[in-house]
Structure 1
Amino acid sequence: MNNGPGHARRAALSAFVGTSLEFYDYYVYALASALVLGHVFFPGEKTTVSDIASFGTLAAGFVARPLAGTIFGILGDRWGRKRILTLTVAAMGMATMGVGLLPGYASIGIWAPVLLVALRIVQGISVGGEWGGAVLMASEHAAAGSKTFAASFAQLGSPAGMLLALLTFRMANAFGLETFLAWTWRIPFLLGGGIALGCYMLRRQLQETPEFLAQAANVEAPPPSSLRNLSGEWMKIVYAGAAAVIGTAGFFFMNTFLLSYATRYEHIDRETILNALFIATFLQLVSQPLAAWTGERVGETRFLLAMATACVFLPYPMFLLLRTHDIWLISLGISVTIMALSAFYAVVAGYMAAAFRPAIRYTAISIAYQTSSSLISGFTPLIGTLIAAHYAGQWLPLAVFFSLLAVISIVGVIGLARTKTAGH
């Protein structure tokens, strides 16, 4: 098996490219849910009701993720990481293109939102199996001492995908609001489906990871992963899921809910907030590898706790800067907050993977991550919308909500650190 540094770099690059395209498809839906899906698929007199319905379909995809993560995790521990990754990206591409081709409520009535939810669930199933495999494809090819850094390349797909999604929506929005609402919003979805096909071909060229092949070749090893093999690991899985919260829910708060909140309650121009998110996401893309490198050298636990603690306090100045309506101050507040939570996100994947043995690793981290995403991250924009509506757009309750997400991660990191110290 080719296990040299050159192949490890190619594996990390492949994980980055694959997750970039996978997250692009996912973020395109998230942005559309904030900008247009309520208008096209849930028309009504009250905009808040349309927003809630739109964010509800976003949450629907998250509901499917724990079961998908469990099934794909078990299959990934049995069949290998490569085979699952080719399946997930193909499913995501078909679902994303389907949304771009789906007629609106005005054309087919109630079938429009029904089919939208169905396609969203397919997206959720796809991402449910994607994340764990991409993290392991990168980290299990890497040498000891650089596995956290390698795993961060899979995490780097999140800002790269978001950046690409923002670019395509900026282009679609350039034709004017009327044209955007009529048809140009579909372009990012159609583009995502085509890109996913290219990603599918790329992933077919990957080699299986050395750690999986060694596990599969060990005739004395216990049977491949199943839920029965997770006995004694469930508390660790709970801690791992809690640890991931600010790195996942935080992004949907910043990149999805905040977009709707800023335009609706702070009356900030859509172009201004999209520009601010673009600047913040570019800085995230540049800084995230450095954060992973730093975390591996200063100690992952110490680094994660520092970043999560920063996320407890950062939303308060961010909301104050948002109210200035100044593009540069808004960009500053959003960028600093996103860079802190992205630094956490860069390190937490490798930290979670290292907590579990290879035979159950895909299953364990997929259940932890996807259950956390389903229970908390997927509902974050919806909860934010309800809070904003209840408190008439007051920002303080929203900042407290963001702080609570960071506190959950602090508890998870501390708990996971204790279980890792005790051994498994």
Structure 2
Amino acid sequence: MSHATLPDDREQHRKARKAGIASFIGTTIEWYDFYIYGLAAALVFGKVFFPSDMDPGLATLLSFVTLWSGFVARPLGGVIFGHLGDRIGRKTTLVITLVMMGVATMGIGLLPTYAQIGIWAPATLVLLRILQGIAVGGEWGGAILIASESAPKGKGILYAAFAQQGSPTGNLLATLAFFALSTLPTPDFMLWGWRIPFLLSALLVIVGMVIRLTLEESPDMQRLLREKKTAKLPIMEVLRKHWLVVLLGAGTLPVIHVTYFKSTFALSWATKTLGYSQGTFLSIIIIALVVQFISQPLGALLTSRIDMRKAVAIMVLPEFILMPAMFFAVETEVYWIAAVGMCLATIPHAMFYGAIGGILARAFPTRVRYSGLSLAYQLCSLAVGGATPVLAQWILNSTGSIVGVAIASAIYAVVSLACTLALLRITGHRASDLSTAERADAEQLGEPGPATDASPRQPAAGKLLGASPG
């Protein structure tokens, strides 16, 4: 490599690291806001926002339904902000989603209870949760792309993992906040203590705004804007030309939503049915989240080093056994057995989550990447994410046994493995090669060189993905 190119390489890596770190901090704040709702739904909302004489199991189920409303709204956020992200850029869109999430979260922290305003309390709670869902529906895809599109060639999956680290970090911060508040007397916690994590969001949003406003637009998006090749209606182009990739992309993701089995549902089940104290079980979740934070990047590293199909199988197959086993470990009510069970169950889906963002980003061409990526992720969130604690609570209420919940968690892994292997067959299975969508980009935007690097065994992008010729 010549001396003339070294400064350019260093500058590219500097910008890539900055984009990765900014994505990590932004997604941490967004997921913190999203996860504190799930914890509050498990611990508080059934008692605070529903009638006091309601059956506790039904009240908990209804609080999980309000949780689900945020997931129902996430595809709408994916469509709205996917359109904006593909039309005007990733950076501006991410600033809007951060502000929206912060406003909704603070609103929940200030919301009067059922005893104060009656039915308007749960109704307003659902409205604010929907706003959260719209915001996070647009956040995830943009954060993945601002990191992966700024990465050096062949490093997109690794840099996308920066954004993915925001999920366990935000979840950890949310759980630590409620863990600290668990020392309050129960009346104080129910009256005002639970509100503190929601109100703290204002400070986090200010930090996130400062960071995001200094961020540069991704190089891929800059090139599209400069050459005026953005899609007029990205969502329509995605649905018309890339619908199969969207469906397979959504199908890859159920296994990442088992986190709602082991956090939101398990927290409610363990504290209300098994007899764990709130602080005790939150400490188990905290340990598992630390394990997730450590193990998650290993998935991106593994996927970047070996055939992605083998990497996915290595990551997902253990979940068939470990996630069902976790429930029986928790059921022993022995602290160390429950903690070990939850940590072991966390590692497979954490590693998979670390890799899947970058895998999905490779599946769509730049001009509709934000829309396609967001739609795939949020369709799964609608069908699976928010429904997970509702499904688990319904199974428990109906059968009185955890066996059905354990079986459901294993099914999630089956679906994810099958769909991921099918997707990789279409898009390409080596991270070092350009995917079919990336090769289509190289041809359409007139980039020299990289388009010839892809493996000749991969089918033409235009035939598989219906890439537009111009």
- Please indicate the TM-score interval, normalised by the length of the shorter structure: over 0.9
> Counterpart of 2:291?
283
Residue 420 of structure 2: which of 394, 406, 413 is its match?
Answer: 413
* Secondary structure, counterpart of 1:4 in structure 2: helix
Cross-structure match for 1:398? 405
Give the counterpart of 2:82 among 69, 73, 89: 73
Q: Hey, what's the Cα distance between the residues in 2 that align with 1:222 and 1:149? A: 26
2: CA distance between counterparts of 1:223 and 1:348?
A: 25
Cα distance per residue 1:318-344 (max 9 Å; x no partner): 122112222221111001111211111
Amino acid at match of 1:30: G
1:99 aligned residue (95, 101, 108): 108
Map of 1:17 onto structure 2: 25
What's the offset of the Cα at 1:225?
Answer: 4.8
CA deviation string 1:5-28 (max 9, x = no partner): 011101100000000010000000
Q: Is 128-137 or 170-179 further displaced after alignment? A: 170-179
- State the distance in 1 between where 2:270 and 2:183 align: 19
* Paired AA for residue 210 in structure 1: P
CA shift digits 1:371-406 (9 cap, x unpaired): 1101111111011000011111x1211110001111
Aligned residue pair count? 421
Contact 2:224/2:230, CA 8 A, preserved across alignment: no
Matching of residues 115-264 of structure 1 within 5 Å: 115-219=124-228, 221=229, 223-230=231-238, 231-247=240-256, 249-264=257-272
Q: Any idea what SS the aligned residue of 2:21 has?
A: helix
Deviations 1:3-56 (A, max 9, x none): 510111011000000000100000000100000011100133310111011001
CA contact (8 A) 1:16 1:153 kept: yes
**2:40 is the counterpart of 1:32:** yes
Summarize deviations over 1:177-223 as a string: whole Å, max 9, x none: 2211111000000001321122122211110000111122224x463
2:52 maps to 1:52: no
Tell which deviates more after alignment, 209-218 or 6-15. 209-218
Deviations 1:145-177 (A, max 9, x none): 211010011110000001100111011111122
Of 400-409 and 314-323, deviating more is 314-323
Which structure 2 residues correspond to residues 285-304 of structure 1 after superposition, within 5 A? 285-304=293-312
Deviation for aligned residue 1:224: 4.4
Partner of 2:71: 62
Match of 1:366 in 2: 374
SS at match of 1:303: helix
Larger Rg belongs to: 2
Distance, in Å, in 1 between the alignment partners of 2:269 and 2:24 is 31
Deviates more, 1:221-230 or 1:383-392: 221-230
- Alpha-carbon distance in structure 1 between the residues aligned to 2:40 and 2:155: 37
Structure 1 residue 317, shift from structure 2 partner: 2.1
Please, which runs of 5 or more residues in structure 1 have no aligned partner?
A: none
On the 8 A contact 1:300/1:347 being kept in 2, the answer is no
Task: Quote the Cα distance in structure 2 between the aligned partners of 1:189 and 1:109.
Answer: 21
Match of residue 448 from structure 2: none
Task: Tell me which of 345, 350, 353 is aligned to 2:353.
Answer: 345
Q: Give the match for residue 340 of structure 2.
A: 332
Query: Which deviates further from its counterpart, 296-305 or 62-71?
Result: 296-305
**RMSD after superposition:** 1.5
The letter of the residue matching 1:390 is S
Which one scores higher on RCO, CA 8 angstroms, separation ≥ 6? 1
Please state whether the residue corresponding to 1:314 is helix, strand or coil. Answer: helix
Matched, 1:354 2:362: yes
Unaligned runs of 5+ in 2: 1-7, 429-458, 466-470
User: What is the identity, as a one-letter code, of the residue corresponding to 2:23?
Assistant: A
The yes-or-no answer on 1:83 pairing with 2:89 is no
Residue 68 of structure 1: CA displacement?
Answer: 1.4
Query: 2:468: which partner in 1?
Result: none
Query: Which of 314, 318, 325 is the matching residue for 2:322?
Result: 314
Q: Which is worse superposed, 312-321 or 100-109?
A: 312-321
Preserved contact between residue 239 and residue 412 of structure 1 (Cα < 8 Å) = yes
Any conservation in 2 of the 1:89–1:200 contact (CA below 8 Å)? yes
Shift of 1:95: 0.5
Q: Stretches of 4+ moved more than 4 A in 1?
A: none
1:142 maps to a residue whose letter is: A
Q: Normalising by the residue count of structure 2, what TM-score does the alignment of the two structures yield?
A: 0.87
Deviates more, 1:196-205 or 1:165-174: 196-205
Deviates more, 1:159-168 or 1:193-202: 193-202
